[in-house]
Amino acid sequence: MKNRVITISREFGSGGRTIGKNVAEALGIVCYDNELIQKIAAESGFNADYIEDAGEYAPGGVISSAFSRRGFGQNNADYLWKIQYSIIEQLAAKESCVIVGRCADYILRGKADCLRVFIHADIRFRADRIVKVYGERDESPEQRVRDKDRRRAAYHRFYTDMKWGHAQNYDLTLNSGTLGIDRCVQIIQSLY
């Protein structure tokens, strides 16, 4: 029997990580989120905090990426991308699972029995949620949401040449602000 994989891409603050973990728990399968970062750290030798941060930034801007693409050598982000790509393929081949973020939707397209999900919500819902989950910061919650989403979109576009969050790139998009976290979990679980 072929493994079934659910990938969860998400806007910052939408609850996608929580939804992914809850879906995996309900289905009795593994959820890879921080565990994936730990695997990449172990294989690459980089610190897990560095990997988590680097996974949401397009490599070094236009000039840096142009140099790396023109034969001046691979940069750290490209090196980590190759490891991440390989690990995600290995996990999907090994077992049914949920994979949160890390462009898994792109990496597994056409290679696995994969349900590609995107979780979104309006900015007010997400701003309120990040304050509850992560606490207050100097920067406004709305600005934190916009900045994080902008970085995720740039990273996704850089490595996949696809528009992050564009409904046509996913099998299912869910508004967690309207549906609620629990209902999103139920919907995804019902499609497994």
Helix (H) or strand (E) holding 66: helix 61-69
d(CA 12, CA 151): 10
What is the mean predicted confidence (pLDDT) over 11-25? 98
What is the mean predicted confidence (pLDDT) over 133-151? 93
Q: What is the CA radius of gyration of the chain?
A: 16
d(CA 94, CA 131): 37
- The DSSP bridge pattern shows strands 172-175 and 113-120 to be parallel
Q: Which of 89, 112, 80, 103 is nearest to 159 (CA)?
A: 103
The two three-digit tokens of residue 165, written as one number: 């969050």
d(CA 122, CA 117): 17
**What is the pLDDT at residue 1?**
46
Burial bucket for residue 128 (CB in 10 Å: 0-12, 13-18, 19+)? middle
With a pLDDT cut of 70, the percent of the chain lying above it is 90
Q: Does 72 score more than 60 pLDDT?
A: no
pTM of the entire predicted model: 0.89
Residue identified by tokens 């998009």 is: 173
Domain span including residue 67: 4-191
Q: Confidence band (pLDDT; 50, 70, 90) for 70?
A: very low
**What is the pLDDT at residue 74?**
73
The count of domains in the chain is 1
Here the CATH number for the domain that contains residue 82 is: 3.40.50.300
Q: Does 13 score more than 90 pLDDT?
A: yes
CB contact at 8 A, 152 and 158: no
